[in-house]
Every structure is written in C-alpha cells, then in structure tokens.
Amino acid sequence: MDEEASGGKKMRSKAHAKVEDTGKQNSSIPRSGQPDVVLIYPYVQHERDAVGVCVEQLASYLAQEDALRTHILCIDDTAAAASRAPTSRRKARRILRAYDQLAFLVRVYLYLRTLRTVRDLIVITVDAPTGIGIPVQFAKWKNPTISHIAWVMDLYRLRANSRSSFLSRIRAIIEAQTLKNSDHIVTLGECMRTNLVAILDRDIVVLPIWQDETWLQPSSRIDTGYPNFRPIDLVYSGSARIGVHPLGEIADAVLRYKSPERIRLVIRGRGDEVDHLRARIPQGSKAVIFEQPVAHSDAPAALARADIHLVSLAADATGTCVPSKAYASMAVGRPLLYVGDSRGQAARDISSARCGYVVEPGSNISEKLDIILKSTNELSQAGMRGHSFFLENRSLSAMGQRWTHFLREVKASGYGFDN
C-alpha cells in the first residue's frame, strides 16, 4: 500500500464476529472465546489509513465467511502523545511517537502471553511499527505453535542504503531480521516479491490488495456520453509524497493544452507533492484544479466524479508498494492512466484488464492524452472491463477466498513450515 497514518497511545483490542468482547483475554477464558487469528496493526482506527481499512475488512471477512474467530490489536486513541506535542517541537514529537510505538510493542507481547495455551494460533503483523515481529517471537517461546505471518504492504523501511541516516540503516536491519524470523511472508505484488526475495532470500507469498465491492460500485456518469462543452476530468485522489507519487509531469502535459475545455487535471488529495505542485501552478488555473480530500464516507461519490483516474508511482518506488487507488477506480468502473514503470503490479493489472493506459516516466505523456481525447467513446468500455477484472481478481470476496485458502494451508501444514 502507499499510505500511512500516525496513530494513538492506548491499545485497542478489537474483536470481530464470533469473538466475545472480553477485553484482555487470558488462559482462563474458555477456548470458544479465544481467537483463531490475531491481526496486529496500530493504526486501524484512522479512517484515512488504507492499510487499516484492509486489516479490518480481512478480519471481518474471515469471521463472517470462514467462521474464524478474529481479533485486531491496534492503538485506540488517534490523539497520540506524539500528535499532542507542539508542532514546532519536532524532536519532542519524534520522541513521543517512539514512546507510543514502544509501548504498543510491549502491550502486544503482554496480550499474546495471555494466549499461550491456544494451539495453532495465527498471528498476522502488518508493517508498522519497526520491530513489530519481535514481541511475536518472544511470545512463541511460551507458545511454539504460533504461526507468524508478516504481511508486507510497504517496503520503504527496507530501502536504506549507504546514503541513508544511521537510524534508517538500523531500522532496515531490524525490519529485515524480524521478517526473516517470521514463519510466512505475504506481500502485494510480483515486483514487491522480487525485491523481498533479493533482501531476505526466502519464499514469499503474493496476495494482492483489494477494494470492497459492496462499498464501491460503478455509476453511470461515463455511460451517458461526452458533451462537447464538458472537459474530460482526469482525477488524482489520495496522498502524494515527493519522490513517490510525482504529479508535475502530468500537470505540465495538461497545461500544454491551450483550452481547458478539453481536459482538466483535478487533484483531490494531500501531501508534500501536492503542496509542491500547488505552489507552482498559476492561481485560478482552470486546467489544474486542487480540491480538498473528501470524508471517507463520501469517497464512492467522489470517485464517480471522474472520467478517468490518475495513478502515479515513481520508477524507483516500483516494487515497494502497490497503489490501492487503482483498484478503487476499477471498482467504480472508471478507466485509468498509470504513469509509472510498466513492471509495477497495478500497471500489470491495468494492462491485463485492458482498462486504461500505462505511460513510462519520461515518455510522451501529451501523446497519450491526445489518444485519450480522441477515443472518449472507449473510456466507458475500458471502465467496464476494469470492473469485470476487479470483481474476479481484486474484490474483497475474491481476495478473501484466497486468504482463506492460504490460512487453511498454514493451519494444515503446522507452524513455521516456511523456515
């Protein structure tokens, strides 16, 4: 995934479906009240955290469709100690954030200790914070039947090199070692798998990301035709980080058109890349328009207010994450323009589904925009092809079934079989 949000201080234990909400569990609780699967991610409660949304959706799916008792460990209070520090005191914020994360790691271990008598427990950890696998390894000393699955959605912590800070290099070492100690590793795409194999030299399972098809559904906007007086709206939604989600090249291509009545770039998001672009676009531009991010509940309607969606990923970020916004676009039946390396998982899926256009960075984006403007009647069909691909391959139900099958294999094979 390509988004991360900061979380809070107090850990929340979130039970799903067939789990009694008993607070902290202990060995005196009947087996019927103990989980089969524990998912650990600190920032589940933050509605803009795409990773947290997926963790909740997977837990609910496993509980409802596969009758597994699932339990989420996360940080409860979104007003973390770090976020309460004055903005100007960045060093204080870092220290308090580190305290929040360390406290979370300790609480994870204490919780897992209460499950030391549960046989064949599956524990799924997700990326953050650094060292999240360490308390699981400690818990396995008390309960060696635990199967630890490391779910890797972002590789940026593992990308440290000789030019990185000392702290970043230490963090990368810790991340790599905790991943190596896990029993199974799951990631989102083939490029991410290739990078992980190069770093860790072990088997990696690919289970792509998804969107919830019951929440995001096609609308009729692009089925009604394109009046001559309405421009094509190319929309970028979500966060954009400098060096990861470049927007300048596509903005320049849109600005080259003398008439904004033909195509507009609508940026509905946040991040330092958005701020950087806003600073150099003429104020009041009718060709490049900035809008505020919408509330999570309004996302389906916002996604429908587009003719084609933009996904951007820097070439050197390929294989470190998979932009989940690509599948949100497919879910609502919209075609995509992907600016990035064609080897990326989202780019591969767009090409496979024939639901949009893939443009390599540094190539002629204006030429691709000309093609789009000359084939507006094809956009509707491309959007529907993308939706069909999504339902079959990247919907919650499709990927939930794959996760169910994988977890059954883990259960059947016993703990630690990848090692």
Which of 70, 78, 76 shows the shortest CA–CA distance to 149? 70
Pull the structure tokens for residue 125. 């950890």
What average pLDDT does range 224-238 have in this prediction?
Answer: 74
What average pLDDT does range 255-280 have in this prediction?
Answer: 90
Q: How far apart are CA 285 and CA 297, in angstroms?
A: 29
Q: Please answer whether residues 35 and 69 qualify as being in contact, where contact means their C-beta atoms are separated by less than 8 angstroms.
A: yes
Q: Is 195 helix (H, G, I), strand (E, B) or coil?
A: helix
What average pLDDT does range 286-307 have in this prediction?
Answer: 90
Confidence label for 417 from pLDDT (cuts 50, 70 and 90): very low
**Which residues share a beta bridge with 267?**
236, 290
User: What is the assigned CATH class of domain 11-210+396-413?
Assistant: alpha beta
What average pLDDT does range 287-296 have in this prediction?
Answer: 91
Residue-wise DSSP of 231-300: -EEEEEEEE--TTTS--HHHHHHHHTSS-TTTEEEEEEEESHHHHHHHHHSPTT-SSEEEEPPPPGGGHH
Q: How far apart are CA 238 and CA 314, in angstroms?
A: 16
More confident: 193 or 6: 193
Confidence label for 23 from pLDDT (cuts 50, 70 and 90): very low
Confidence label for 30 from pLDDT (cuts 50, 70 and 90): very low
Residue-wise DSSP of 352-411: HHT-EEEE-TTS-HHHHHHHHHHTHHHHHHHHHHHHHHHHHHTBHHHHHHHHHHHHHHHH
Q: How far apart are CA 382 and CA 388, in angstroms?
A: 10
Q: Is residue 276 scored above 50 in pLDDT?
A: yes
Q: Where are the domains of the chain?
A: 11-210+396-413, 221-393
More confident: 66 or 312: 312
Q: Is 318 helix (H, G, I), strand (E, B) or coil?
A: strand
pLDDT at 222: 42
What average pLDDT does range 179-202 have in this prediction?
Answer: 96
φ, ψ (nearest 5 deg) of residue 161: -135, -170
User: What is the assigned CATH class of domain 221-393?
Assistant: alpha beta
Residue type, 199: I
Q: Is residue 24 scored above 80 in pLDDT?
A: no
What tens digit of pLDDT does each residue of 339-390 get? 999 999 999 999 999 999 999 988 889 999 999 998 888 999 999 999 999 9
pLDDT at 11: 45
Q: Please answer whether residues 400 and 68 qualify as being in contact, where contact means their C-beta atoms are separated by less than 8 angstroms.
A: no
Confidence label for 252 from pLDDT (cuts 50, 70 and 90): very high
What average pLDDT does range 275-299 have in this prediction?
Answer: 91
What tens digit of pLDDT does each residue of 129-168 get? 989 999 999 999 999 999 999 999 999 888 766 677 888 8
What tens digit of pLDDT does each residue of 87-127 get? 556 677 778 888 888 999 999 999 999 999 999 999 999 99
> What predicted TM-score, i.e. pTM, was given to this entire model?
0.86
Q: Is residue 1 scored above 80 in pLDDT?
A: no
Q: How far apart are CA 392 and CA 387, in angstroms?
A: 9
pLDDT at 156: 83
Which of 375, 308, 302 shows the shortest CA–CA distance to 338? 308
Max Cα separation, the chain? 73
Q: How far apart are CA 190 and CA 341, in angstroms?
A: 13
**Which residues share a beta bridge with 239?**
270
- Same fold across 11-210+396-413 and 221-393: yes
When mean pLDDT is compared over 38-47, 256-265, 277-286, the highest value belongs to 277-286
